[in-house]
């Protein structure tokens, strides 16, 4: 069994939650010390899209999209059970359980703690996380459990295609059910900006780099741009918490309250997908990545859409960033569990 040190999860990624926590502290401190700087950045927007944050989001997402190989779709029928688990969990279960947990915790369990207006925004942020299945880190989780790399690529590629068409309708449906007014134009614009355009750019880049069929050039390119992706993520966290600084100081328990239902969702969805794979006698190399894909989130997309729909200072944006904070430790614990239970699969 590979150790973390032998894994594709580098030291920086392994402690991503720590770096995010440090950036949260830096953002809150800067937001209190130089609030004018963040007010000026907040004003730099066009059509409900903050230009500075948009640049950081693109820097985050683009390297991930280069990893998506649409040529792998020819293998879509090779292991239909694994793909069935991925699609059903990601699009027919996960968005709805996330919405249900948001309502349960913020409208009932935390009703006396959280302001009702803020609660709706936290629920909205959770919904956006639930409708955005992971794209990039899935490759890392799959390698950590020694999953079928080629089939993981098929699962991710199919997910990205479905996301182009399903993200906006499902997000609008669930936000509408929770009585949150969603401007369709802004939601569709967000999908075009943060899914369609980066996906197309990643596809074109892959075609240019892989003319000779040598994937080594793609690997070298993604390795070079990967640090910029992480820098974009951390810079976005600093900005978001800078905008939220006063709210966080006034309500320090907010982050913990948001994290609780996200943790319940993460472990619950993994149990559903992993248990399904076990009962359906799906090979471990397919079942484990399928469960991990269903558990992790495309939080970069969720952050971008939350900002576009609700604003930089919104509770929805805050909730999506808390998703970044809890994601890595949750996923590493699930990887460890999967590796310990590998022998139970046929």
Q: Which residues pair with 46 in a beta bridge?
A: 49
210/166: higher pLDDT: 166
Q: Confidence band (pLDDT; 50, 70, 90) for 55?
A: confident
Q: CB within 8 A of 126, min separation 6: which ones? A: 98, 99, 101, 102, 258, 261, 262, 265, 319
Asked if residues 345 and 274 have their Cβ atoms less than 8 Å apart, the reply is: no
| pLDDT at position 219 | 79
Residue 46 sits at φ, ψ, to 5 deg, of -145, 130
- Residue 277, judged by CB atoms within 10 A of its CB (0-12, 13-18, 19+), counts as buried
Return the bridge partners of 42, or none.
none
More confidently predicted of 72 and 121: 121
Q: What whole-number distance in Å separates Cα of residue 309 and Cα of residue 317?
A: 9
For the segment 70-95, the average pLDDT, to the nearest whole number, is 84
Instruction: Evaluate if residue 343 carries a pLDDT over 60.
Output: yes
State the virtual CA torsion across 333, 334, 339, 341 in degrees, nearest 10. Answer: 120
Which comes out higher in pLDDT, residue 31 or 179?
Answer: 31
Domain 4-344 has CATH 1.20.1530.20: yes
Higher confidence at residue 14 or residue 113?
Answer: 113
Helix residue ranges per DSSP H, the chain: 11-14, 16-33, 35-42, 51-66, 80-88, 94-104, 116-130, 137-144, 149-177, 184-191, 197-209, 216-243, 245-250, 254-279, 284-295, 299-310, 315-340
pTM above 0.85, yes or no: no
Phi and psi at residue 146, in whole multiples of 5°?
55, 45
Token readout for 266 is 């993460």
Does the pLDDT of residue 69 top 90, yes or no? no
pLDDT tops 90 at residue 259: yes
- 235 vs 11 pLDDT, higher one: 235
pLDDT tens profile 213-248: 667 788 788 888 878 877 887 888 888 888 878 877
Helix 216-243 × helix 51-66 angle, to 10°: 150
């Amino acid at each position: 069994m590979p150790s973390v040190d032998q894994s594709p999860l580098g030291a920086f990624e392994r402690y991503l939650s720590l770096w995010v926590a440090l950036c949260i502290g830096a953002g809150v401190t800067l937001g209190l010390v130089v609030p004018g700087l963040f007010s000026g950045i907040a004003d730099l927007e066009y059509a409900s899209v903050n230009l500075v944050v948009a640049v950081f989001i693109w820097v985050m997402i683009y390297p991930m999209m280069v990893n998506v190989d649409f040529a792998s779709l020819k293998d879509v029928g090779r292991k239909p059970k694994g793909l069935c688990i991925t699609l059903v969990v990601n699009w027919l279960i996960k968005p709805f359980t996330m919405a249900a947990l948001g309502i349960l915790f913020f409208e009932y369990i935390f009703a006396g703690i959280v302001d009702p207006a803020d609660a709706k925004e936290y629920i909205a942020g959770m919904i956006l996380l639930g409708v955005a299945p992971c794209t990039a880190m899935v490759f890392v989780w799959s390698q950590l459990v020694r999953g079928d790399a080629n089939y993981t690529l098929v699962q991710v590629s199919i997910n990205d295609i479905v996301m182009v068409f399903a993200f906006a309708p499902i997000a609008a449906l669930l936000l509408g059910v929770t009585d949150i007014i969603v401007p369709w134009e802004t939601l569709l614009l967000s999908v075009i900006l943060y899914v369609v355009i980066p996906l197309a750019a990643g596809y074109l880049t892959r075609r240019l780099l892989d003319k000779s069929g040598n994937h080594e050039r793609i690997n070298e390119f993604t390795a070079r741009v990967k640090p910029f992706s992480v820098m974009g993520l951390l810079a976005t966290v600093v900005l978001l918490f800078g905008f939220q600084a006063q709210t966080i100081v006034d309500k320090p328990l907010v982050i913990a309250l948001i994290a609780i239902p996200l943790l319940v969702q993460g472990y619950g969805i993994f149990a559903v997908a992993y248990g399904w794979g076990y009962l359906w006698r799906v090979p471990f190399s397919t079942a484990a990545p399928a469960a991990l894909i269903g558990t992790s989130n495309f939080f970069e997309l969720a952050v971008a859409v939350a900002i576009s729909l609700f604003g930089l200072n919104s509770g929805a944006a805050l909730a999506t960033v808390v998703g970044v904070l809890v994601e890595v430790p949750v996923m590493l614990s699930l990887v460890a569990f999967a590796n310990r239970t590998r022998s139970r699969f046929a």
